């Protein structure tokens, strides 16, 4: 983020008057509005880094920027619709206050056309114009990587001309704000988890026939070596490898299945990858692989077909996918790796540009010291399904780079540096995995991806259980225990619900500058500190009247909700679950008044979290029982346990 982040000057722009007795706050905006900021100096939202890097130099997506009454930074929005969709929600106003000034891109200041994808391209950078005075073209052919977009103009005549040319509708500012935009991405991610499972089932089923191809060659009977058998086998047939040990390095360049019959070990000579496949619909079944080279990165030409267009991260792809592996699948889409065991000297299984391939029931043993290895399973530009597999002792158990649509489920990651590591990977589903004792992080989502779902995982031990960045994602039903930090929140617009966070040094730590996450219906039990927050506005962890369960939150009467707010970052509240006698102090008139004030004024305290509606009982008793920490949870009147 730029060091030139422009802050609103609250004293010159807004006067906040707090009337504690009735909880009213009057906002009086000064007549001189702040001018637009350089967009790079805003805290921006609405576009993943991968999408941003992938845009052409002449693409100028529509943008908006807003100054808020109770937020110290200028917020930048990729897509005017992103601002319009969020600005009128109750939770948004509660967190940010009211918009003081809003500016939008002015396409009247440039010549604009659309690419084949619908992205606006211009002959220069659009100027900024006041949002209230602009005219907006909706429902046109214009789009961003996220879908349909709104194109603003300072001139109504220019807006009408663009709408006529691209089948759009011209709206005023008031009309735009009344328009409904279906952009609640985190909710969409939550609602599609079952569909993602079903799609993964479809992809697994599509590889079933690779196990049932007719046998064409049996090694030792029809060919002396495995490589000879591969070379001679007709397409779409199976090469059977009888039980035994084979010292070979193999290359597969046409669609066949290589299947072991009994205990089959293929040993390389310590140089390069042991099995390299470059054909779609390749099957590798029932094999044990050992003896790969130990080079973690590569510099030479990659096997397989080259991508048609030069990618912005081509050097990265070459370095990572060019390393040695037990199994290296390059541009081998719709392939199957099943019932294999790989003893890795660098990476275990590499899938580069692998389409809808499947890794199923694979076991990867990485070098004993994670510093000596690379990734157990490495997916680059490969929306693969990994299921019922196990990776141990790797630098990364599973590393995914730009593999949109990846599914990782029902697998085990043990003793790696990072268990599941997503880079520039959006629309992934990571679910029902056991991820234990990683050296650093259980699930690490980084570099600004969008719409990822992390659901029903059991993550224990390490520096961080889940480290979540990016935006518009869904994190739910996870058990996060015995780590230094159970949940690290660096995301925006993400839903965190129904998680159990227990027995950590810090339960959840939020560092996001944008207070747009929704954190509710979680259970925080026996963490040294339940919550911590970095620099930024007061985060309100309540959604539509639903709060979280905090071991130690107090109430005079037993009920569904406590009769006071709870702040895990407040000096008294954060100790209620660990020190006797503090409930009396917590109910002192001064602290009760302060708690009410914190819940009403988002900008009152920075680096803080408040729950306006804490629950008296755990929200997820079955999950809490599974975590092993149920006996440490008690009702908020401190009389009973669940």
pLDDT band at 592 (very low <50, low <70, confident <90, very high): low
User: Which of 13-17, 41-45, 345-349, 542-546 is the most confident on average?
Assistant: 345-349
pLDDT band at 166 (very low <50, low <70, confident <90, very high): very high
Higher pLDDT among residues 530 and 30, named by residue: 530
pLDDT band at 59 (very low <50, low <70, confident <90, very high): very high
Q: What is the pLDDT of residues 234-280, one digit of tens each?
A: 999 999 999 999 999 999 999 999 999 999 999 999 999 999 999 99
- What tokens were used for 70? 């109770």
Position 42 in a domain? yes
Domain, as residue range, for 23: 10-183
Q: What is the pLDDT of residues 198-217, one digit of tens each?
A: 999 999 999 999 999 999 99
pLDDT(182) > 90 = no
Q: What pLDDT shows up at residue 30?
A: 47
Q: Which residues pair with 127 in a beta bridge?
A: 106
pLDDT band at 590 (very low <50, low <70, confident <90, very high): low
Q: 264-273, 593-602, 630-639: which range is least confident on average?
A: 593-602
- What tokens were used for 320? 């990572």
Strands 529-533 and 43-45: unpaired
Higher pLDDT among residues 50 and 85, named by residue: 85
Rounded Cα–Cα distance for residues 547 and 545 (Å) = 6
Position 580 in a domain? no
pLDDT(5) > 70 = no
- What tokens were used for 233? 């086998």
Q: What pLDDT shows up at residue 176?
A: 93
Q: Who's near 33: CB < 8 A, 6+ residues apart?
A: 13, 67, 100, 101
pLDDT band at 584 (very low <50, low <70, confident <90, very high): low
State mean pLDDT over 150-173. 97
Position 636 in a domain? no
Position 570 in a domain? no
Position 54 in a domain? yes
Q: What pLDDT shows up at residue 32?
A: 56
Q: Who's near 533: CB < 8 A, 6+ residues apart?
A: 509, 510, 511, 539, 569, 607, 608, 609
pLDDT band at 55 (very low <50, low <70, confident <90, very high): confident
Q: What pLDDT shows up at residue 85?
A: 81
Strands 169-171 and 135-138: antiparallel
pLDDT(624) > 70 = yes
Rounded Cα–Cα distance for residues 141 and 257 (Å) = 45
Q: What is the pLDDT of residues 487-516, one digit of tens each?
A: 999 999 999 999 999 999 999 999 988 888
Higher pLDDT among residues 69 and 87, named by residue: 69
What pTM did the predictor assign?
Answer: 0.86
- What tokens were used for 534? 């970095």
Position 602 in a domain? no
Higher pLDDT among residues 593 and 564, named by residue: 564
Quick check: 583 and 636 in contact, CB under 8 A? no
Position 465 in a domain? no
Q: What pLDDT shows up at residue 353?
A: 94
Domain count for the chain, please give it.
Answer: 1
Q: How many CB atoms lie within 10 A of CB 418?
A: 28
- Residue 612's φ and ψ, nearest 5 degrees, are -80, -20
Q: What is the pLDDT of residues 375-408, one digit of tens each?
A: 999 999 999 999 999 999 989 999 999 999 999 9
Position 85 in a domain? yes
State mean pLDDT over 34-40. 92
pLDDT(139) > 90 = yes
State in Å, rounded, how far the first CA of the chain is from the last one: 45
Q: What pLDDT shows up at residue 587?
A: 53
Quick check: 428 and 452 in contact, CB under 8 A? yes
Q: What is the pLDDT of residues 337-372, one digit of tens each?
A: 999 999 999 999 999 999 999 999 999 999 888 888
* Percentage, residues of the chain above pLDDT 90: 67
Higher pLDDT among residues 592 and 360, named by residue: 360
Rounded Cα–Cα distance for residues 192 and 321 (Å) = 31
pLDDT band at 589 (very low <50, low <70, confident <90, very high): low
Q: Which residues pair with 418 in a beta bridge?
A: 396, 441
């Amino acid at each position: 983020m730029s060091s030139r982040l422009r802050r609103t000057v609250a004293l010159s722009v807004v006067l906040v008057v707090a009337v504690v007795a009735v909880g009213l706050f009057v906002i009086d905006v000064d007549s001189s509005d702040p001018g637009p900021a350089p967009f790079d100096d805003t805290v921006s939202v609405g576009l993943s880094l991968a999408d941003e890097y992938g845009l052409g130099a002449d693409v100028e997506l529509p943008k908006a920027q807003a100054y808020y009454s109770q937020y110290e930074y200028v917020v930048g929005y990729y897509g005017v619709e992103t601002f319009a969709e969020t600005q009128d929600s109750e939770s948004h106003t509660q967190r940010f206050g009211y918009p003081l000034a809003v500016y939008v891109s002015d396409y009247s200041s440039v010549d604009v056309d659309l690419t084949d994808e619908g992205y606006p391209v211009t002959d220069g950078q659009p100027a900024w114009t006041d949002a209230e005075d602009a005219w907006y073209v909706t429902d046109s052919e214009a789009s961003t990587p996220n879908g349909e977009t709104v194109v603003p103009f300072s001139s109504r005549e220019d807006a009408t001309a663009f709408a006529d040319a691209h089948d759009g509708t011209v709206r005023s500012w008031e009309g735009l704000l009344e328009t409904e935009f279906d952009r609640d991405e985190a909710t969409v991610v939550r609602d599609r988890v079952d569909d993602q499972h079903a799609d993964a089932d479809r992809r697994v089923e599509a590889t079933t026939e690779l196990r049932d191809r007719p046998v064409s060659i049996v090694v030792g009977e029809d060919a002396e070596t495995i490589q000879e058998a591969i070379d001679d086998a007709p397409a779409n047939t199976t090469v059977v490898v009888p039980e035994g040990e084979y010292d070979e390095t193999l290359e597969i360049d046409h669609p066949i299945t290589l299947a072991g019959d009994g205990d089959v070990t293929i040993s390389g000579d310590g140089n390069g990858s042991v099995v390299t496949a470059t054909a779609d619909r390749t099957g590798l079944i029932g094999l044990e692989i050992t003896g790969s080279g130990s080079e973690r990165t590569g510099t030479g030409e990659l096997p397989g077909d080259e991508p048609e267009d030069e990618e912005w991260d081509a050097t990265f792809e070459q370095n990572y996918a060019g390393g040695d592996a037990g199994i290296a699948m390059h541009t081998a889409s719709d392939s199957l790796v099943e019932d294999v065991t790989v003893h890795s000297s660098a990476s275990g299984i590499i899938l580069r540009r692998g389409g809808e391939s499947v890794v199923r029931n694979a076991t990867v043993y990485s070098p004993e010291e994670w510093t000596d290895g690379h990734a157990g399973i490495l997916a680059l530009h490969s929306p693969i399904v990994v299921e019922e597999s196990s990776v141990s002792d790797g630098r990364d158990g599973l590393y995914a780079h730009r593999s949109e649509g990846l599914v990782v489920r029902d697998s085990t990651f043990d003793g790696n540096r990072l268990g599941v590591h997503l880079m520039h990977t959006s629309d992934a589903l990571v679910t029902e995995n056991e991820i234990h004792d990683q050296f650093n992080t259980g699930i690490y989502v980084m570099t600004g991806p969008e719409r990822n779902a992390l659901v029903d995982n059991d993550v224990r031990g390490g520096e961080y259980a889940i480290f979540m960045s990016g935006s518009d994602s869904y994190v739910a039903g996870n058990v996060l225990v015995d780590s230094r930090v159970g949940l690290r929140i660096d995301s925006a617009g993400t839903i965190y619900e129904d998680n159990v966070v227990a027995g950590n040094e810090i339960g959840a730590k939020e560092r996001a500058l944008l207070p747009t996450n929704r954190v509710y219906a979680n259970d925080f039990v026996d963490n040294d500190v339940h919550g911590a927050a970095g620099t930024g506005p007061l985060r309100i962890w309540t959604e539509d009247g639903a709060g979280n369960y905090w071991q130690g939150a107090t109430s005079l009467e037993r009920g569904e909700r406590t009769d006071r707010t709870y702040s895990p970052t407040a000096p008294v509240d954060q100790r209620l679950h660990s020190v006797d006698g503090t409930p009396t102090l917590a109910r002192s008139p001064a602290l009760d008044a302060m708690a009410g004030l914190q819940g009403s004024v988002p900008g009152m305290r920075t680096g803080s979290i408040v729950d306006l509606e804490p629950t008296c009982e755990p929200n997820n008793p079955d999950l809490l029982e599974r975590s092993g920490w149920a006996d440490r949870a008690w009702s908020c009147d401190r009389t009973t346990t669940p």
